[in-house]
Structure 1
Amino acid sequence: MHSQRAMKSAALLCMRARAFTPASRGFAVTSFNTKQAVPTSAELKYTPVVVYEGGLSKAARVMKLASVASLVGASAALPFFFTGSSDIPSGARTILALTTLGMTGSSTALVTWALRPYITSLNILESPVGPSTPLLVDTLTFLAQTRTRLVFPEQLKPATMPLTSWSVSEPSAEIVEASKSVLEHVNRGRRRRVELAREGDVFYAHTQGPVSEEMQRIIDVSPCQE
């Protein structure tokens, strides 16, 4: 009798244990995935690698900012030339104001022209370097912000103007088509979008001194004006 009761009690406990599951009691079931996400081949295809950095990048940025600041300051000071009590005739005041603004504006324009092609950083997206290797070239805008352009070595030709190394030729239909997938990839998550270099764009790099192996390959593929 006692053995039968013990067997029935054990069977009842087993049934209750089977019925008690996290889902039946309202508990959330969490599954853990031990596998880590592996980057796809597309994500690894275009990985920027710095092969060149302009040695005067910081100085160029400071010069641009200083030139813009001086132009803004001179413009803000113009009203003071025509206010206040003074024996200076209005014509002379106008000449002084225009002279000050003209000198400041011309110096800003000169700095902008000289530093517009200056390469602050150059990245390759594929290795080894060849004529069709995508390059990301960083230069400075008028307000000293970074501007990035996509260019291929086969587009680069020796420049003819001073303070320039390369001039960009018109992109072929093949380059335009190839650039679409590259731009789509590199512009993901970027605040400032990369654009394809246009015909007539110019770049300047220090190529006379020691450069990295990959940068030397770019120079070999696309000879430049030193």
Structure 2
Amino acid sequence: MRGARFVNVAVATVVVTVAAGGAWYLAEQRERPVPASARSVPVDTASAVTPSTTRPRANPVPGAQRTLRELGYQVREVTGELDARTRHAVVAFQKVHGLARTGELDAATLGRLDTPTTPRPESTDPGFHLEVDLGRQVVFTVRDGTVDRIHDASTGRPGKATPPGDYRMRYQIDGMRYAPLGPMYRPSYFTTTGLAIHGGEPVETRAASNGCVRLTNPSIDELFPRLGPGTRVLIY
């Protein structure tokens, strides 16, 4: 080619080449001639791509766990992870506040965590008792007229609804019982017909049991020592 000057570039040298249309690319030259006009190209610093300065969004889980624990939901420690126990606490919070029962820290839930309400018990009698709110599918522990703990729950499904009433605990089984309708972890019975507060089965966001009050196993472990014979259980 008349008038063209070429230089040899060593093997495996990476250079920036500009084509006729102005596009750039990285190329590895292997003893191929490069036009002298391509050896020195001004760099347009104004159009250079700069790293994004947007800061990553802070993890909302630790703050939510602290708030839920302070409010009495079933969070025992701040782990920073949306684990199963935290999700049940979130669902219980969503149930109490009439939010979608997603188990996620969505915008509506985070906003409500900033302005939470404390549920009021049905009974303000002195001493300790348990309350099962069938409409909201939660269980409250109440001490001297104040709700101190709130647990995610699943009660009897349509056709096998948990019967409302003012009950007293009758007896407990400290272990697993494999009943005809399913496993029951540490059941505490409040009727003579086999209805109990127990773990051992999934706690869903809706009424889904065979009439019993299902709680998570960690909730049962916490409650079992407090549900001895004679303990009041108010279901409404």
Q: Which has the higher strand share?
A: 2
TM-score of the superposition, structure 1-length normalised? 0.27
Q: Tell me which of the two structures has the higher relative contact order, counting C-alpha pairs closer than 8 angstroms and 6 or more residues apart.
A: 1
Q: Which has the higher helix share?
A: 1
